[in-house]
Structure formats: C-alpha cells, structure tokens
Amino acid sequence: MLKKSIEKAFNEQINAELYSAYLYLSMSAWCEKSNLPGFAHWMREQYREETQHAMKFYRYIAECGGQVKLAAINGPETEWKDIAAIFAQTLKHEQYVTSRIHALVELSAKEKDYAAGQFLQWFVGEQVEEESHAEQIVVKLEMVGKQGPAMYMLDKEMAARGAK
C-alpha cells in the first residue's frame, strides 16, 4: 500500500516531469524557428525522455495501489535570446529536477518506504547523466560562439542523439 505522502509527492513529480517535457518541446520549437534542426531534434529527444520519466512515476503509483491524479501543467517560456541561453536554462532546470528527486529520496527514507527509495535510485543516477549532458553542451557552446562553421558542426552533432 502506497503511503499518502508518497502518493502525493509522486503525483506532484508526474506534473514536474510533464512540465519538463513541455519546456523542452517549447525549446525545440524555438530551435526549429531559429534554423537549428539538430538542436531541435535534441530537445525533442529530451521531451520524449521526460514523458517516459512521468510514466515511470505513473506506473509506480498504479502498481502500488495508489491513485494517479493529474494536474494542470503550467505553460513554459517560448522565447530565448539564443541557443546558449536555452542550454543555460536546461542545466539550471535539470539541477532543479535533481533537487526534487533528492527531496523524494529523503521523503521515502523518512516514511521508511524502502520500495519507493529503491524505485527512486534510477532517477538519482539519471539526473547525474542529465546534468552532465547539459553542462557539456553549455561548455561546447561557449567554445564555438554564436555562429559560424563550429556552430553548424555542433548542430549536426545534436541531430545524432538517439540515432544508434
């Protein structure tokens, strides 16, 4: 049986994950408009991952006999100064998500819900990866500047995400 405090927190995390997906889809649209199809593809892949994360929480709640309660998703930003600003925000957002996951781990320990704690370990590792990838792209964008051949090559690199 899922404790009500865990159920409530996990439902809130579903909303946060879906907001993340919505944010990345908005960033993808900005990249499309800005003629950066590779970055747009990278953000759509990020969108897909975030929806999968939401569904992991959804399935966990359902499997544990809880009730999934979906809430309204706030609208994300739609305009950015440049691609560097998008990835600076991406890194900051992933750091925020990491703090949310850590708070869930702390709650599961407080509630002595060891199954929830075990479930959350996947997300702990995932957030290390998410922050690392975003930070690597921030650094690459700082190296290449705002335009030119290096930006073209970096955009092509971003298009390769998920193509394995």
**Is 108 part of any domain?**
yes
**Is 17 part of any domain?**
yes
pLDDT in tens, 111-158: 999 999 999 999 999 999 999 999 999 999 988 877 777 877 887 888
Amino acid at 34: S
**Is 164 part of any domain?**
no
Report how many domains make up the chain. 1
Output DSSP code: residue 77: P
**Is 163 part of any domain?**
no
**Is 136 part of any domain?**
yes
Provide mean pLDDT across the span 57-76.
97
**Is 35 part of any domain?**
yes
Answer yes or no: are the C-beta atoms of 17 and 54 closer than 8 Å: yes
CATH code for position 15: 1.20.1260.10
- Helix axis angle, 114-144 to 149-159, nearest 10°: 160
**Is 61 part of any domain?**
yes
CA atoms of 54 and 17, how far apart (whole Å): 5
Residue with tokens 């950066």: 36
Q: Which domain holds residue 8?
A: 4-156
Query: Residue 59's pLDDT is what?
Result: 98
**Is 162 part of any domain?**
no
pTM over 0.75: yes
